[in-house]
Amino acid sequence: MYTEPAVSVGNVGQLAIDLIISTLNMCKVGYFYTDCLVPMVGNNPYATAEENSTELSINAEVYSLPSMNLMALQLRSIFIKYKSKPFCEKLISWVKRSKCAKVIVLSSSHSYHCDDEQLRSIPFRYLLTPKMEKSVGEALQNLHWKEMEKSKSFPGIGDSELCIRIPGGGITKALYTESCAKEIEMAIVLKFVSEGDNIPDAFDLVRYLNNWLQIIKPQECSDPTTSVSQWKMPSSWRLLFGSGLPPALF
């Protein structure tokens, strides 16, 4: 199984992948070379000691956990203009060559685009390609998950046709469309969010995903904070909002 984030509103998918990689202590096994992402380099975001804190990370890295047959791609920069579609095509081609059994894309969408029905229900939605629908569709229905609704392609125009719209979802829809065309088993799992401190949204998304995939064993406890502690925040999150205000300002 293969998981990846979409670079979407609040970076929720990327934060969720961070939690999965950090919690499972997944091993970096390679890089996804592409000229479609803005180049970047930084320190090891999952450093656990001084010895591995100086390891470098780049914009697209692949992590693996053989014991669970799980692989994760983490994206850490934005797309170069007009390069998102070529990236999707290249990524899906790589997934097909690698013979990944299932692909899970974690994403998000602008909550202010929700209609009245969406506002009254849970903030999570899923999408399945036709091939994925055959294998897991019934399981997700048994979990009472809600499929992403179709909406008017041009809101406000009465005779506008219905289609899948994911405002703020970045490459999410493009990945879905390309996977449908290439007969890839792909599931999109997303949450409606607003920009801000999106760490709680990332925790919500991985817990929701875990109800299906059982990545980690859920704890049965009435304390709502316990389920959060099951997921390990990477060391890089300590500086997610900077290093704080310098005392000299006061």
User: Tens of pLDDT along 204-216?
Assistant: 999 999 999 999 9
190 pLDDT above the threshold of 50: yes
* pLDDT range class, residue 111, cuts 50, 70, 90: very high
237 pLDDT above the threshold of 80: yes
Predicted local confidence at residue 52, as pLDDT: 84
Token pair in block for residue 35 = 């000229």
Nearest Cα residue to 25 out of 56, 59, 55, 67: 67
Burial of 58 (0-12, 13-18, 19+ CB in 10 A): middle
Residues 35-56 have pLDDT tens digits of 999 999 999 999 988 878 888 9
* pLDDT range class, residue 160, cuts 50, 70, 90: low
232 pLDDT above the threshold of 80: yes
Residues 116-135 have pLDDT tens digits of 888 889 999 999 999 999 99
Asked if 186 and 178 touch (Cβ cutoff 8 Å), the reply is no
* pLDDT range class, residue 82, cuts 50, 70, 90: very high
Please give the Cα distance from 129 to 142 (Å, whole number): 18
Predicted local confidence at residue 227, as pLDDT: 47
Asked if 148 and 190 touch (Cβ cutoff 8 Å), the reply is yes
Residues 55-72 have pLDDT tens digits of 899 999 999 999 999 999
Q: What is the pTM of this model?
A: 0.89
The CATH classification number of 12-215 equals: 3.40.50.10900
Q: Does residue 240 or residue 186 have the better pLDDT?
A: 186
Mean pLDDT calculated for residue range 144-171: 82
